[in-house]
Amino acid sequence: MLSPLVGVWSDRTRTRIGRRLPFLLGGAVLGLVALPAVALAPNVPLMGVAWVFALLGWTTAAQAILNLQADRIPEERRGKVSGLTGLTGQMGPIVGIGLVSAVSGHTLLVFMLPALVGAVLAAVFLRVGSRGESRTDTPVPAGPVSARTLLAGYTFSPRQNRDFAWNWLGRLTFFTGLYFNTTFSTFFYAQRLRMTVQDVAGTVAVIGMLGILAAALGAVGGGMLSDRLGRRRLFALVGGLFFVAGAVTEAFSHSFPQLVVGSVLMQLSIAFFTAVDQAIVMAVLPDQEEAGRYMTVGVLSLKIPSALAPLIAPFILAVGASGGEKNYTLLYLTGAALAFLGGLMIFTRVKAVR
């Protein structure tokens, strides 16, 4: 939730390496120090503090990369870059789990190894990204940094920035549906396949790997096709339609093959949507000079659903539930409706983008 404040600060930063890269460097250093501190913490409160600083560090570094893309990626390449960025978001957790599994017997390495990998990759990006980066001559947003400015970093005027507002609301709606249908997937598979949660782990892994392959195809192919056609909103709608197909398939599935088909369709949906999602955000920013502020406000439309959906979903699961069976059919159908509505909002209401 501190991201908009970092965005406002980033917009007004002027250094020899530009306004974004200092936050990449600072965030990576903070994350590199804080993650091992989680493992070494002598008690739970200190562990919690270290974890908060680790999240702050790595999210700041990641946001700096997104802000730099908003500054420098030309419109005709944004679909490709958006698709590749979405793909790395899909692959990152898989790689991280693999690294942690390899050193699972050593608590310090479980936290230290991912931190080192992240720091090395950040250093590589810092080296490459500094080429051609704008220096101290970039215009500074008007007005001093004050408490009012920082608080304003969380807000924007929907009336004056209709495209940004509709896109923000569409993303919020789409990702709420997404988190409805992914947060409890392990328990859903266990119930539908009549297995225990412990025994379903292998099934989840297989479905997850097939989903990654579908996501790679959809993200890269969708992003490149979006650039070639010069169309963005259409792919948001297609993503919503694929989500409906996948969610409905899973909602009425009671066998492994059906669940695989539904999951692959949903992963294709996410890939198509994210292939243009970031590109649309960059195109409808209210003020390019304050790209950091508005990019991070845009990220809130993803973070809010990740926090709210798991709190709301149990109430949906309880509707008509009996004998220990949760109502996953209703949950998945609700998620499908929300995802489609989100894609439809962007397709019909965002006017500044084709």
pLDDT 10s digits, 94-140? 677 677 777 777 888 888 888 898 889 888 888 876 665 554 445 55
SS3 of 327, please? coil
pLDDT 10s digits, 129-171? 666 555 444 555 555 555 565 665 567 778 888 999 999 999 9
pTM for this prediction: 0.79
E strand or H helix at 102, and its extent? helix 78-102
Domains of the chain: 3-131 (no CATH), 159-349 (1.20.1250.20)
Which of left, alpha, beta for 144 (phi over 0: left; psi -120 to 50: alpha)?
A: beta
Mean pLDDT of the chain: 83
pLDDT band with cut points at 50, 70 and 90 for residue 203: confident
pLDDT 10s digits, 264-321? 898 888 888 887 888 888 888 888 777 777 888 888 888 899 889 999 999 999 998 7
- Whole-angstrom distance, CA of residue 167 vs CA of residue 284: 8
- Whole-angstrom distance, CA of residue 121 vs CA of residue 26: 14
